[in-house]
Amino acid sequence: MSLEIRADLENVNWEQLAQVYALAFKGVQTADLIERIFRRSYATRIAILDGDIVGGVYAFSDGELDASIHGLCVHPDFQGHGIGRALMESLLETFGPHMALLLTAEQAHQPIYRKFGFRPLKTAMAKGFPPDDMED
């Protein structure tokens, strides 16, 4: 099996990537939506295993001080094989050592991100998330 992590968006099969997102996040993700998000992002990574897209991640940034990482996903059939780790390691190389990085993660997934040096932030606030994800 040959895993490739791509940073470019040349010849991406957007339907295939959208299907991976729909399976990983258990919701409808259209190819048009995924393409718009990836093309508007500061940095992207797509995991390709033996020619098929199996994961992705994207980040928004000012390129100087701050960035936020979003949408890390791996096709459910390929989770637990280091693909998510490879996506994150590759994406993190984009950012300097002093850049402030944010991401959101469900409680169950937070230990994974701790391995990359992420910690809960006392001063973060959010709007527009599902009510179950928000504190009162």
Token pair listed for 64: 């100087």
Q: Is the pLDDT of residue 103 over 90?
A: yes
**Phi–psi pair at 68, nearest 5 degrees:** -130, 135
The neighbouring-strand residues paired with 43 are 59
- pTM for this model (two decimals): 0.92
**Phi–psi pair at 13, nearest 5 degrees:** -85, 95
Q: Which of 13-17, 54-58, 87-91, 102-106 has the lowest mean pLDDT?
A: 102-106
Q: Is the pLDDT of residue 81 over 90?
A: yes
Q: Is the pLDDT of residue 71 over 90?
A: yes
Question: Binning pLDDT at 50, 70 and 90, where does residue 92 land?
Answer: very high
pLDDT at 131: 86
Q: Is the pLDDT of residue 19 over 80?
A: yes
Question: Binning pLDDT at 50, 70 and 90, where does residue 61 land?
Answer: very high
Q: Is the pLDDT of residue 1 over 80?
A: no
